[in-house]
């Protein structure tokens, strides 16, 4: 929905309050403007919470935390119990997909994820094919977590699943870690375009199935995280896949049926077009599936292109974009999410109050989900989250 919408086709529906039995985030994703807007935070289950740190220590490794439904359910529920957020997001990591494909993934304390770099065709050949049943078997604990969460969450709480966008996941797989400029991934994309095209195709196919399984397990909606939309290779022409065959299929969706323009620029070529294939593939299996796309670093123009070029229901807005300018650029019915700077949440006080008010002013009467412009950081005081929510809810 929203792929070809103009400002005159549909105006946002407005309400001032909703019953607690309704899932407000889903209502906004349907185009309803709710005041005050529903709220959740990216990385809301995280190290800023003492209860998370205790569970994390009990679990052992970070991957054990992700793959154990007992632990993953517990940490997902912790911020809901403490703050009453309107949505819970599955606790997992975007790198469980490369892990399921057969790439070695580990998390080093204080340094983050480390993977064996996919630096050539030999390493790629060792990955599982998209249709290998071992992939979804490997990810079965994630689906169990989703099912258990839906059973345990309050009825009014929206449950979100997620995955990484193909380019973001590919950049980690190629570089073996996150780097500021993604130089290894960008170099390979331009030096062996066929190989990277085939990797992207495989990630589109696998992650489409992954999101479908999450929705079938009980997720109400899903978010696709394109964390590296601001660091892309040049828009080099598409190449014949390294396998010598054709693009791995995603459902029954033809390329010509996708929204948006041909892949003539870097953002479309490497980010929005693969995401559009995922969105279409998910909806071919789960009609009406609600999907949010967060294209961090893509700028005002890139954010404005997310919904029309991918077919997503909402665009997640990073902190570097002028939210008011974006809302004035896109049709009024466009659903937006987020934009509060995580550093402002750390600062707290009057600066935090003013920032919350600015988000509310920019989105007044429009469909918006309150969130940050990136994930909450470990050093954030819990009291500041409480203050943010009190301000948002008109209690402070």
Say how far apart CA 286 and CA 242 lie, in whole Å.
30
177: annotated active-site residue:
no
Q: DSSP 3-state assignment of 29?
A: helix
Closest CA to 227 of 275, 283, 158, 160: 275
First to last CA, the chain: 36
Report the DSSP beta bridge partners of residue 223.
Answer: 162, 292
Single out the catalytic residue among 10, 47, 82, 114: 47
Do 338 and 321 meet the contact criterion of CB atoms below 8 Å apart? no
**Rounded-to-10 torsion of CA 208, 209, 215, 217:** -160
User: E strands along 66-211, which residues?
Assistant: 87-89, 105-108, 112-115, 158-164
CA-to-CA separations, 21 to 18, 24, 33, 86, 155, in angstroms, rounded: 8, 9, 17, 11, 6
Single out the catalytic residue among 172, 192, 269, 391: 172
CA 328 to the chain's CA centroid: 24
Single out the catalytic residue among 23, 27, 52, 56: 56
Which two tokens mark 363? 């989105």
172: annotated active-site residue:
yes
Single out the catalytic residue among 23, 43, 269, 273: 43
Single out the catalytic residue among 93, 197, 220, 318: 93
Q: How many CA atoms lie within 13 A of 333 on its CB side?
A: 18
CA-to-CA separations, 318 to 87, 171, 220, 355, in angstroms, rounded: 19, 20, 23, 14
47: annotated active-site residue:
yes
Do 161 and 219 meet the contact criterion of CB atoms below 8 Å apart? yes
43: annotated active-site residue:
yes
**Which residues are the active-site residues?**
43, 47, 56, 93, 172
């Amino acid at each position: 929905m929203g792929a070809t919408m103009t400002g005159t086709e549909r105006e946002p529906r407005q309400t001032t309050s909703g019953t607690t039995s309704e899932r407000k985030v889903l209502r906004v994703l349907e185009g309803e403007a709710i005041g005050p807007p529903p709220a959740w935070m990216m990385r809301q289950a995280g190290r800023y919470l003492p209860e998370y740190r205790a569970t994390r220590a009990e679990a052992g490794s970070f991957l054990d935390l992700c793959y154990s439904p007992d632990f993953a359910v517990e940490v997902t529920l912790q911020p809901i119990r403490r703050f009453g957020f309107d949505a819970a997001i599955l606790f997992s990591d975007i790198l469980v997909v490369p892990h399921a494909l057969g790439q070695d993934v580990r998390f080093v304390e204080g340094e983050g994820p480390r993977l064996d770099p996919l630096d050539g065709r030999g390493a790629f050949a060792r990955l599982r094919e998209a249709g290998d049943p071992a992939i979804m078997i490997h990810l079965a604990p994630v689906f169990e977590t989703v099912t258990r969460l839906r059973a345990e969450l309050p009825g009014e709480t929206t449950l979100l699943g997620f995955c990484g966008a193909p380019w973001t996941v590919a950049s980690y797989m190629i570089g073996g870690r996150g780097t500021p400029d993604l130089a290894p991934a960008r170099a390979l994309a331009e030096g062996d375009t066929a190989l990277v095209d085939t990797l992207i195709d495989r990630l589109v196919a696998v992650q489409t199935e992954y999101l479908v399984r999450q929705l079938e397990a009980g997720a109400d909606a899903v978010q696709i995280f394109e964390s590296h939309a601001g660091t892309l290779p040049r828009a080099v022409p598409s190449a014949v896949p390294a396998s010598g065959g054709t693009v791995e299929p995603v459902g029954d969706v033809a390329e010509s049926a996708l929204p948006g323009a041909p892949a003539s620029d870097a953002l479309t070529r490497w980010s929005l077009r693969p995401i559009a294939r995922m969105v279409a593939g998910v909806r071919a299996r789960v009609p009406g599936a609600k999907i949010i796309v967060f294209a961090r670093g893509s700028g005002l123009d890139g954010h404005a292109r997310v919904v029309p070029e991918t077919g997503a229901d909402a665009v997640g807005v990073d902190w570097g974009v002028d939210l008011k300018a974006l809302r004035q650029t896109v049709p009024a019915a466009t659903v937006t999410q987020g934009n509060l700077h995580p550093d402002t949440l750390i600062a707290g006080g009057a600066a935090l109050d003013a920032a919350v008010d600015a988000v509310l002013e920019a989105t007044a009467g429009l469909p918006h989900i309150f969130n940050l412009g990136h994930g909450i950081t470990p050093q954030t005081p819990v009291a500041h989250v409480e203050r943010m929510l009190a301000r948002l809810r008109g209690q402070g």
